[in-house]
Structure formats: C-alpha cells, structure tokens
Amino acid sequence: MRVQNVRSIADYAEPQSPGWGTVGSTDVEMVPAPLGLQPNEYVQVSWEERPYGLLEQASLRAVHDGAKIAVHLSWADAQPSTGAGEGFPDGAALAFPVRGEPELMLMGSPDAPMQFVQWQASKKEARSVLAKGIGSSRPGEPVDETAKASWSGGLWTVVFTRSLAGSGESASLVPGSTSQIGIAVWNGSNEERAGIKAVSPDWTALSLDP
Amino acid sequence: MTSKRQVAMVIDLNKCIGCQTCTIACKTQWTNREGMEGMWWNTVATAPGEGTPKGWEKMGGGFRKGKAQPGKLPKQGEFGTAWNFNTDAALFQGDTHNTLGPITGDPDWGTNWDEDVGGGEYPNSFQFYIPRICNHCTKPACMEACPRGAIFKREEDGIVVINEDHCRGFRFCQEACPYKEIYYNTVSGVSQKCIMCAPRLEEGVPTACSRQCPGRVRFLGFLDDEDGPIHKLVYQYKVALALHPEYETEPNVFYIPPLAPPSFDDEGNPIDEDRIPLDYLESLFGKEVGPAVELLKAEKAKKKAGSDSDLMDTLIARNWMDMFGPFTTNPKDVARTLEQRVQNRQG
C-alpha cells in the first residue's frame, strides 16, 4: 500500500478530515485469531464453541509528512461498545515490526519484537505496546501516538498517528522505504478481549513515498 | 511455581452465627475505596441458598480431570450492587413514618440475600451460615486463565494475588474461578479479590476476618505446621474439608461441616435421622463429609459424657490465640511500630 507524502498530517488528524477523501484505500482480509494460538487452555476451552473475530475485512489508508504517519482504519461494527461499566470496549491496534521478521500471528518473538499502537473505545488516549510473543505484551516506548475514533452508520473509523522515527524497542518507519503493518480488531459487544480478536493474517506492505 | 509453604484457614460452621463481623472487618480494611463499593472479599451466606454471586455454584470454571472448564462471567447485579440509604431522612428528621431503606433503585440481590430462607420442611427445616473468601487454591484456575500472567501465588505463603499493574481487566479469571471470588473494579479497570490480609500476615497479625470473629470460628496457620490446629483438623482428624473439591483447584480454606438437631417424626418425636440431608452436605464437601460428621458427633458425645476429646477441645478454642498459628501479633502493636518507622524515616 502506498503511503503518500503530504504537507502536514494535521490535515488528516480526524476520521472526517477532508484530506482522506483523495487517499486511496486498501482492503485487508481479517480472520479470527486462531484458537490454538490462544495463550492458555482456559481461553481455548471457553471460546471453542463461541464465534469471534467474524470481521472479514478492514479498510486501510495512510499518509505521512516526513515526521509522522497517519493511518485511517475503518471496519464494520453494527453495535458499538464503549466498554462503559462492566462492558468490554471495542478496540483496534496497528502492529509494526521492530526488527527481524516477526510473525504477526505469533505477536513476534524475543529476537523479533513487534510494537503496536492500540486504541480502545473506553480510553481517551492511544497506547504504545511492545510484544515479544503471545501473552507477552507490555507498555512500549512512546512514539507520540494518538487515536481519534468515530462510529457512524455501522462503521468505526479510527485515525491513528505516530512518529515515523522509533528508537530502541519501537518500530521505525523511513520515508522512501517499505515497512509493514498488521491489524487487530476487538468486538467488545461480543466480549472480545486479549487474544480473542480479528487479525490480519499477514503483514501488509507500506511503501512510504520519499 | 510451587509455594514453599501454604497459609490455610479452617472455618467451623458449627460456631458461625452469621453476624457478618468478618464481612465488615474486611470491608473497612480493604474494599472501602472507589470502585469497590459492591465488593465483598468476605461474604457470609445462608445455606442452602443461591449465595453470592447469585447461583455461583452453577457458573462453571475450575477443572475436570485436569482440564480447564469454561465458566460464566458473573455480572455486578448478581453480586449485588452497593445501595445508598435514606439514613438522614429516616433517622434524623423526626418523621417516624419514613422507614429506613435503599434509595438507589430497587435492589433484587445482595450478599446473604438468602437470609432466613434455608431448606427442609417444618418442623425439619434447617439452615447454616457459610463464610467465604478466596480459597488461595493450590491449583488456582484464575492464575492459569490469565493471559497476562498477572496472577501469581506467593512463594513464601501460597497467597494468590493479582498484580494490578499487569491486569488489563480481561476477566478470564472471574470466569475460571469456580468459587466466583473475583470482582471487577469498573473505576480502575482491574480485577480484585481477597489477599488473605497479606500485609497483616507479614507482620504476624491474623487476617481481619479471623481476628474480628466473635465466635472464634476461623483457625489460621500454615498447612504444614504439625503443631498447629489447621494440620490437626485437616490431616489428623480429617474433619476440615474443602468446599466443592470436585473443581480440582485444591482450596486452602477448609470447613468443619455443620451438625444439626435430629429430625422429628409426624408425632413431633425426635428420630435418628439427620436434619441436614447427607446428600446436601456431600454436594458441598464431597464424600468425605459423612465420616467427618460421624467423627464430630462421636467426639461431641464423648465430651458431653465427661470424657476428654482433643478434637472438641481444639474446636472449642478456649485459648483464643491458639487459633492463629504463628499469627498472634496484636495489630495495635504493629500500628505503633509502623508509626515509629514512619517517624524514624522522617527523621
């Protein structure tokens, strides 16, 4: 997927920012995160007869301005869940490889970690998370991450922004080169949380314009 | 990780009067902060009954033949939410017609909602109280269910605790715990539960629920302490039994099963039939409860006849401090040393 270089991502900071109208979108296939890869027997047995991760595709757009990247992610969700009270929130995350070639489905490994930026409908702020394998996620290094979301007409749209530069254990994106992105989506009204989610089965290439 | 030692509790159901002092001792000590209004890390419910959360014994979880079993996520309404009362209007405004009652909604469940229901048919009705806390299981289903590894069993005393810095409020632990002893804090977004008063035990002070109990119901100590009452009641006399052992989590809270007066026949004469049906007790404590009840009855008869009974003497607990194993420090003394420590630090 091409990531255009734009004047300023401030013009793309909101889901409804007019700039997005001229940016081409890419549909990404989504599948349920495999039951066999859930981190423990309890999660496996409690979901083996419950459908989850039924989202079939998500739509992705992205631009950068040399300093930051903005990613516009949208997906269908008939019943939004803000996670108020004891409910579970809807959520989404964008994954980036930190180094090596992390397996997206395996949430990376100690040698090939991945970093993601996560949004939850219950929280105002986005979070940076570092993962070195399933069940290992811990707070990640900040990358000036933000997320702005809106739900309308059965569709969630979330605009994530983050700095292109990373350091140490956070992923770097370099203009003029190709990086990769992965997607996870949680449907809160179906009590989806942790590894119970829809995921893109493989990385999508991000070709950043110089 | 296997714990080196295990703190355990024995609760004598024959002495519990359902006064809820333990419940309040726990509430004021641990669950008086924001988001914890509806939490009761210690409950005393009436048996038979639905308990807290409502119908918890039918919510699944635990293990069967070693395999994790799915469980239901209990809702806050099933525990019972916190109510506010019209205390000012009812008690301080001089209106004798305004009676005390909840003013927030119309509550339909709460801890010990089953009070005064019980089982059996008059004149053979029966009931007893059953205090519950986290069982600090040897094989905690909650710990195995947490995808974050946020729950652990302390090596030094086997207490099961949740690391709130790692908990993300996923609540698989709530589902997996067959005793439904874990609560969700909607303000902080984390799961919380009984910590066996770990900070008190570390200072040699008994748990609040044990020490505050006016009925001397709760024994406390290390399971492997052969000189302590816990070891004696669990292993020597085998009269202290785990609740619902069929869940295979190996609880470390044990119960002395309740005895009851004999049943009456149609003429009102006492007959040789247990008031509390054995099959009901077996549904709670497993097949070992029959022999335990028989031994308790025999030792009670012995004591009544004037003979010695070490088992009855242990359960009577004339010397209060003998109930708590190594945890005999007066909390007042610890409070004093804590004060001194703070003063020393402040120089």
CB-based contact A122:B184 (threshold 8 Å):
no
Q: Which of A208, A193, A204 is nearest to A38 (CA)?
A: A193
Q: Which of B7, B3, B4, B1 is nearest to B222 (CA)?
A: B7
> How crowded is residue B64: how many other Cβ atoms within 10 Å of its Cβ?
11
- The closest CB to that of A86, out of B67, B149, B184, belongs to B184
Alpha carbons A15 and A73: distance in angstroms, whole number: 9
CB-based contact B264:B124 (threshold 8 Å):
yes
A125 touches chain B (CB under 8 A): no
pTM of the model: 0.94
∠ Cα B160 B325 B25 (to 5°):
60
Query: A39 to chain B: which residues are within 8 Å by CB?
Result: 147
pLDDT for residue B334: 87
Helix axes B278-285 and B289-304, enclosed angle (nearest 10): 120
CB-based contact A72:A149 (threshold 8 Å):
no
A46 touches chain B (CB under 8 A): yes
A87 touches chain B (CB under 8 A): no
Sites in chain B below the pLDDT cut of 50 = none
Query: B175 to chain A: which residues are within 8 Å by CB?
Result: 42, 46
Give me the residue label for tokens 């001229």.
Answer: A22
- Choosing among A38, A52, A82, A86, which should be mutated to test the B contact, i.e. which has the most B CBs within 10 A? A86
Q: Reduce the secondary structure of A138-195 to three states and give it as a string.
A: EECCCCCCEEEEEEECCEEEEEEEEECCCCCCCCCCCCCCEEEEEEEEECHHHCCCCC
- Residue B185 pairs in a beta bridge with B190
Instruction: Chain B: give the shortest CA distance to residue A192, in Å.
Output: 9
- The closest CB to that of A42, out of B73, B176, B189, belongs to B176
pLDDT for residue B83: 86
pLDDT for residue B34: 93
- The closest CB to that of B145, out of A42, A86, A193, belongs to A42
At A38, the pLDDT band (50, 70, 90 cuts) reads very high
Nearest CA in chain B to A123: B189
- Computed over every residue of chain A, the mean pLDDT equals 96
Interface ipTM? 0.94
Cβ–Cβ gap B76/A85 under 8 Å: yes
pLDDT tens profile A101-136: 999 999 999 999 999 999 999 999 999 999 999 988
∠ Cα A20 A22 A24 (to 5°):
90
pLDDT for residue B346: 65
State yes or no: pLDDT of A200 exceeds 60: yes
- Choosing among B148, B151, B188, B249, which should be mutated to test the A contact, i.e. which has the most A CBs within 10 A? B148
Please count the residue pairs, one from chain A and one from chain B, whose beta carbons lie less than 8 angstroms apart: 52
pLDDT for residue A135: 85
Write the DSSP symbol of residue B244.
Answer: S
A127 touches chain B (CB under 8 A): no
pLDDT tens profile B281-323: 999 999 999 999 999 999 999 999 999 999 999 999 999 999 9
At A175, the pLDDT band (50, 70, 90 cuts) reads very high
Query: A86 to chain B: which residues are within 8 Å by CB?
Result: 75-76, 184, 186
